[in-house]
Amino acid sequence: MEFFLTPEQLMIRDSAREYAQQHLLPGVIERDLNGTWPQEQIEQMGQLGFMGMMVDPQWGGSGLDTMSYVLAMEEISKIDASASVIMSVNNSLVCWGLEKFGSAAQKEKYLPGLASGQLLGAFCLSEPEAGSDASSQKTKAEDQGDHYLVNGTKNWITNGGHADVYLVMAQTDARLKSKGINALIIEKGTPGFEVGPKEQKMGIRSSDTHTLQFTDVVVSKSHRIGEEGFGFSFAMKTLAGGRLGIAAQALGLAQGAYERSVAYAKQRKTFGQLIGSHQAIAFKLAKMATDIEAARLLVYKAAQLKDQGAPIDLASAMAKYWASKAAMEVTTEAVQIHGGNGYVVEYHVERMMRDAKITQIYEGTTEIQQMIIARGLGI
Ligand code: CAA
């Protein structure tokens, strides 16, 4: 489906595809098995402009559109969904939010490093008692005049162990509920800020996910993003774009598993025939291709809306809902098509199936996307 992509967008897609084949595919199995952080690859992706794709060149970014970003996310995710979540959080949750809502001083200080991959960002909303119910923030940012005193715990934080810049949502005035939340920039190494142990995960194992602890952390008010009480709105607006990045990740995972399944179906024989010529396998592949195409249309539509400056809450929730469902179903069928080989690491699809599951959970579960869709439809 290339009919409305520009030559520049196609070039970005092709260069991401080439990069992923040459630099992410070698070692992807070992990084997953050992839970190894892809330091070299993240540096390379920064140098190639993949870590700040939509950031204006005046802040050191690539100045590309959302469509180019989702195309690159799809290609990177086809090969390595751990690398792509690191990229997605940095691009759409951290760089985008800072560029859109940060002060000139904040952009000047952080964006060039974040966009070039020299710095890494993390987005800290989830808490032990505030996952889906994000406005129930327990982390406190007590107003102390010219600064806040931050106390609390964040968990399931992607890039948690390697980030330099953390965007942290915290409650200043609980009486105001979601309107009492602030978004604060907290740097690695700030006294009282500690990174807990790395989570052992089912999938995206070479990305890192940590619990963060804040104990009497002093954060200057100059580190607040936007006006007092803007934090929840900031998180929701930023997450709408983040969900599109995850939808593109899910699309890439599904496409990657589908391509491996087609190749396998064309070389593996049973009962004297290629398995692709058995209707049982051909029908699976037909459904997989159609579900992927529907996901791609939803992802590209949401990207196009974002590039037009239109609201994307509904479109990105639909894209994430469908693409993550497609990713889970397609990768599961890919394992089935590969039979016994599908269950061993060398064939890649078992990793893709494990990686796909998180796309139905992070940046808003499937059920949260359904809630946003229902609200968006006025139901
Ligand atoms: N844009 C701007 N403002 C918004 C908004 C949006 N999309 N959605 C809500 N708001 C504002 C509104 O101004 C609203 O104020 P009003 O009362 O004036 O209307 C206020 O926020 C409260 O909104 P709701 O009443 O809709 O809030 P809610 O408590 O019902 O929650 C929700 C809504 C959509 C369920 C939200 O809690 C949510 O998105 N939950 C999921 C959280 C999530 O996605 N977590 C992922 C963590 S990040 C992550 O996973 C990153 C990673 O590391 C990979």
User: Domain holding 17: CATH number?
Assistant: 1.10.540.10
Question: Is the residue at 253 inside a domain?
Answer: yes
Residue that is last in its domain, among 208, 232, 256? 232
Cβ of 29 less than 6 Å from ligand 1: no
Cβ of 341 less than 6 Å from ligand 1: no
Q: What is the mean pLDDT of residues 279-307?
A: 97
Q: Are 139 and 168 in contact (CB under 8 A)?
A: yes
232 Cα: distance to centroid of ligand 1 (angstroms): 7
The residue range of the domain holding 227 is 122-232
321 Cα: distance to centroid of ligand 1 (angstroms): 16
pLDDT band at 306 (very low <50, low <70, confident <90, very high): very high
Tens digits of residue pLDDT in 269-280: 999 999 999 999
Q: Has residue 312 got a pLDDT over 90?
A: yes
**Cβ neighbours, 10 Å, residue 43:** 14
Tens digits of residue pLDDT in 37-65: 999 999 999 999 999 999 999 999 999 99
Tokens 């690191």 sit on residue: 86
Atom 6 of ligand 1 has which residue's CA nearest to it? 236
Cβ of 183 less than 6 Å from ligand 1: no
Residues 142 and 89 in one domain: no
Cβ of 97 less than 6 Å from ligand 1: no
Cα–Cα dist 371/379, whole Å = 9
108 Cα: distance to centroid of ligand 1 (angstroms): 28
Question: Is the residue at 1 inside a domain?
Answer: no
Here the CATH number for the domain that contains residue 155 is: 2.40.110.10
Range list of β-strands (E), the chain: 121-124, 140-143, 147-158, 165-171, 181-187, 193-198, 209-220, 269-270, 273-274
Cβ of 225 less than 6 Å from ligand 1: no
> How much is the pLDDT for 1?
52
Residues 278 and 193 in one domain: no
Question: Is the residue at 2 inside a domain?
Answer: no
Give the active site residues: 363
Residue that is last in its domain, among 198, 232, 266? 232
Q: Has residue 349 got a pLDDT over 90?
A: yes
Burial degree of 364 (CB within 10 A; 0-12, 13-18, 19+): buried
Q: What is the mean pLDDT of residues 66-75?
A: 98
pLDDT band at 4 (very low <50, low <70, confident <90, very high): confident
Q: How many structural domains comprise the chain?
A: 3
Residue that is last in its domain, among 207, 232, 257? 232
Residues 144 and 169 in one domain: yes
Q: At residue 201, what are phi and psi to the nearest 5 degrees?
A: -110, 160
